[in-house]
Structure 1
Amino acid sequence: MILVLISPRNAGLPYARWLPEEAGRLVAVTATGTTVGDGFAEVVTVPYYTDDEAVLAAAREVARRHRPRVVLALAEVDIERAAALRGEFGLPGLDTAAAAAYRDKVLMKDYARAAGLRVPAFVPVGDVRDITAFMSTHPGRVVAKPRGGSGSTGVHVLDDPAQAAGLATYVSTVPYEVEEFVEGDMHHVDVFRVDGRLVAAVASRYTGAGCLSHWTDAPYGSRNLDLDDPVHERLVAETSRLIDALPSPDTLCAHAEFFVTDAGEIVLCEVAARIGGGPIPAMLSHVLGIDPRELWTRVECGLPTDLDAVRERCHTAPRAAFYGIPPRHGRVLRLPDEPPGTHDFVLNTHVGDDWSGDRYRLRKSGDFLATWIVTDPDAAALDARLDATADVVSAGFGWEHAEKSVMGDAR
């Protein structure tokens, strides 16, 4: 039996199609009101998927009835939950020590710095005085972020120590850290390792401000780097060093983010023990020749997978890029058509969809209303097509704008 923890964001993924050998042997825990895909023998729900104890209690109850041999989790929110359950049930996979290192931004940077990787100067935050003290010794911009956060939620960029006072409520309720602001282009590296052997490592560069672009309602995306780009090789090598620095299992998927400065220095932003979110899986599918979530699901479940085909595909894959349109502060009045020459165009909204108030304020970097993929063998042509399609899709949306009394998490 396979126990699958399904965040509402991952509802509807075709687990039964990915795992045909396990037909009739899938059980799930998810949130009330969430519709999961077909093929589950039992689905247990909890009122609030943010409630760790409720999710764990439901999983334990399911496990008593079905005795799972694998606990599968694809979402960031489930990484530590799944690790705890594996420990309780004596199952293989990412354990609690590794899960903590990949979730806690202070702990991961401690490991990385001890191994000689370049990380931003940082300190854990107990209250706002820790932020002001840090800023007194590190002049310039700083970033305050939740130690276990994802999707750029709860992130604040500060230019002046006086701004720290406004974070008192945040840092008193959620563990935070503060670090120096690193100027550079944001890159991500998506890695799959099985039994200690590298299967794939895809380095990509975000456009614009990357995951912080949604603060200004700007569309953004990323595209994979050419294999002969010297930055690609350096990023992959740095990611391997990072994985070895953390208490990583031999079989692992990871999504690492790095800054590359104008001087060419590679600086760690953070790393997660999961597949990248948003449209990254769709982009990687064109590079790997398989949906990375399907790849990882089969590997986690110990099922046969043609890893050599994935390795070969990575050496011959086309250039691929994703782009996404974030929400604005208001209500959707008009939807765009699919731009020509794109793949995997997805609309995640509808006419009348209201993104005002707290929903807008708490938006994540992966909360795209429309996403799509562009491929082209020519790098310049790919970039041009990406920009052109972004203009078309952005213009296709119509908005009734709300009063912007509630802005993004960081200004």
Structure 2
Amino acid sequence: MILVLLSPRNAGLPFAEWLREKSGRLLAVTAEGVDPGPGFADVERVPDYTDDDALLDAARQMAGRHAVTRVLALAEVDVERAATLRAELGLPGQLPESARAYRDKVLMKELAAEGGVAVPPFAAVASAAGVEAFMAAHPGPVVVKPRGGSGSTGVAVLHDPAQIPELADRLTAGDHEVEGYVTGRMCHVDALHVGGEPVVCVPSVYTDGGCLSHWTDSGNGSWTLPADDPLYERLVAETWKLVGALPAAPALFVHAEFFVTDAGGIVLCEIASRVGGTPIPAMLEALLGLDPRHLWARLECGLPVDLDAVRTHAATAPLMANFGLPPREGRIVRLPAEAPAGTREFTVLARIGEDWGGARYAGRKSGDFIATWLVEAQDAGELLALLDKTGAAAEAAFGWEPAGAEPDLPAAEAGYGREPAGAEPEEASR
């Protein structure tokens, strides 16, 4: 039976359809209140899905009742948990040594540098004094972030040592990294590696601001590079070099991020051993011919996949771009009446009356969007112009009022919009 570690953000994904040969023989460990959907024979729920010990204990109880043959995990938070369970149960798939290297940003960069991949100056830090020492040795802006974080949560850009005391409390846990701030374009590469061989590799460029755009309430997305762009092959080569530098796994779907400096150098930001976050999966589905989470789930569960069809589809696909509109600080009072012209897969992820004030706004992630969509074109200039046009139209279609204002909403509109299935926040941190 297949044990699925089901993050609440992935609730609603059609596992029974994707793993049709195993429907009725699926097991889930998830959070209280989450419906895993059809096809599951048994479900364990934990009060707090962020509690590693509780989740692993629940999974072990499940394995004690059933003959588990595979462990499937799609969320970043579950990468190491799944690896731990595979090691304990003697199951195939990514094991702890590999999983840790793809999660720990310090170990990741140590191994990458040993493998010939350029990395920024970096260090593990456990105190404000550690950051201060790093800034003294490396003048200029620095980035401080959790070693195993995701969705740009907990990331801080420091321009002056006087800002360090603002971070002192969070650094005492000793699980942070500091690195030099790299200027230039930010790119991501989504790639599949099976049985020691490359299958497909998709280089893309983030729009201005990248995954920190939500800090300024700006939308963000990315667009696929044309194969004849000189940067295309360089990013592909750097991605496979990076995969080769980290501990191997039987199959890997990776989401790598690189800076391309003004001088043309390619410098690692980080890499994750999972599918990129929303809205990247929708873009990859258009490029690969099926949802990348569907593809990855079948591979992880040892089920057949036509990899040649994936290669062919990727080689003949048009240029694609994805975009997500972040929330403002306030309450939503108007939603788009229709999809902006030129968009595909336009999805409203909000509802009338939804409040993004206070702590919720302060804690927003790079993958928190009120709408997402795709555009396609035959050349990069047309693609980027279409992104600008549709972004302006979508933003104008939403209406906001200050948080805390007394709502005056038609009852019929209160439930408009939905949470996205599988809306894993983007892993990028800067």
TM over 0.5: yes
Letter in 2 for 1:374: V
SS of 1:41's partner is strand
Match of 1:23 in 2: 23
Q: CA RMSD in A?
A: 1.2
Look up the match of 1:200: 200
Between the aligned partners of 2:371 and 2:57, the Cα distance in structure 1 is 36
1:35 corresponding residue in structure 2: 35
Asked if 1:398 is matched to 2:399, the reply is yes
Report what 1:342 is aligned to: 343
Write the mapping of 1:82-161 to structure 2, written as runs, cut at 5 A: 82-161=82-161
- Does structure 2 conserve the Cα–Cα contact (< 8 Å) formed by 1:103 and 1:148? yes
Aligned partner of 1:358 in structure 2 is 359
Q: Find the aligned partners of 2:393 and 2:63 in 1 and give their Cα distance.
A: 49
Shift of 1:264: 0.7
In structure 2, C-alpha distance between the alignment counterparts of 1:259 and 1:377, rounded to whole Å = 25
Task: Give the secondary-structure state (helix, strand or coil) at the position aligned to 1:312.
Answer: helix
Amino acid at match of 1:278: T
Question: What is the rounded CA distance, in whole Å, between the counterparts of 1:144 and 1:131 in structure 2?
Answer: 8
Cα distance in 1, alignment partners of residues 130 and 209 from structure 2: 27
1:160-201 Cα offsets, whole Å, 9 max, x none, are 001011101111236101000000111000010111121110
Q: Secondary structure at the match of 1:139?
A: coil
CA distance, structure 1, for counterparts of residue 266 and residue 137 of structure 2 = 23
- Partner of residue 247, structure 2: 247
- Encode CA deviations 1:77-126: one digit per residue, 9 max, x unaligned: 00000000000100011100111100000000000111121100011101
Distance 1:156 1:20 in 2: 44
Please list the CA deviations of residues 137-172 of structure 1 after superposition, one character each: whole Å capped at 9, or x if unmatched.
111111000000011100000010010111011112
Q: Note the 1:276-355 alignment, pairs <5 A.
A: 276-336=276-336, 337-355=338-356
Output the TM-score relative to the length of structure 1. Answer: 0.96
Q: Secondary structure at the match of 2:172?
A: helix
**C-alpha separation in 1, matches of 2:380 and 2:303:** 36
Secondary structure of the residue aligned to 1:103 is coil
1:221 matched to which residue of 2? 221
Work out the CA distance in 2 between the residues paired with 1:382 and 1:259: 22
**Aligned to 1:55, what secondary structure does the other structure show?**
helix
TM-score (norm 2): 0.92
* CA distance, structure 2, for counterparts of residue 161 and residue 49 of structure 1: 36
* 1:220-250 alpha-carbon deviations (Å, 9 max, x no partner): 1101111111111101100101011000213
**Pairing 1:80–2:98 present:** no
Amino acid at match of 1:350: R
Q: Is the 8 A contact 2:75 2:274 kept in 1?
A: yes
Specify the code of the residue in structure 2 equivalent to 1:273: S
- 2:62 counterpart residue number: 62
Query: For the Cα contact (< 8 Å) 2:318–2:376, is it kept in 1?
Result: yes
Write the letter of the residue equivalent to 2:86.
R
1:7 is matched by which residue type in structure 2?
S
Distance 1:96 1:192 in 2: 19
2:382 is equivalent to residue 381 of structure 1: yes
Q: Any idea what SS the aligned residue of 1:371 has?
A: strand
Tell whether the 8 Å contact from 1:328 to 1:401 is kept in structure 2 after alignment.
no
User: Structure 2: how far apart are the matches of 1:90 and 1:13?
Assistant: 27
Distance 2:173 2:330 in 1: 29
Contact residue 125 and residue 174 of structure 2 kept, 8 A: no
| In structure 2, distance between residues paired with 1:295 and 1:174 | 37
3-state SS of 2:40 partner: coil
In structure 2, how many angstroms separate the alpha carbons of the residues matched to 1:353 and 1:342? Answer: 24
Contact 1:29 1:58 in 2 (8 A): yes
Please give the per-residue CA displacement for 1:269-293, whole angstroms capped at 9, x wherever unaligned: 0000000011100000111111100
1:267 is paired with a residue whose SS is strand
Q: For residue 253 of structure 1, what is the amino acid of its counterpart?
A: F
What SS is found at the alignment partner of 1:324?
strand
Aligned residue number for residue 407 of structure 2: none
Structure 1 position 180 matched with structure 2 position 186:
no
State, as a whole percentage, how many aligned pairs show the same letter.
59
Q: Is the 8 A contact 2:189 2:239 kept in 1?
A: yes
Mark the CA change 1:215 to 1:75 in structure 2 (over 3 Å): closer, same or farther.
same
Poorly superposed stretches of 4+, deviation over 4 Å:
none
Task: Measure how far apart 1:331 and its partner are.
Answer: 1.3
Q: Is the 8 A contact 1:200 1:311 kept in 2?
A: yes
Does residue 1:273 correspond to 2:273, yes or no? yes
Residues 43-90 of structure 1: per-residue CA shift (max 9 Å, x gap): 211111011111111111111111211000000000000000000100
The question of whether the paired residues in 2 share the 8 Å contact of 1:186 and 1:205 is answered with yes
Which whole-Å deviations, capped at 9, do the CAs of 1:291-339 have from their partners, x for residues lacking one? 1001111111111111001111111111111010011111111112311
Q: Which amino acid aligns with 1:391?
A: A
1:407 maps to none
Does the 8 Å CA contact 1:146/1:174 hold for their aligned counterparts? no
Cα deviation for residue 358 of structure 1 reads 1.6
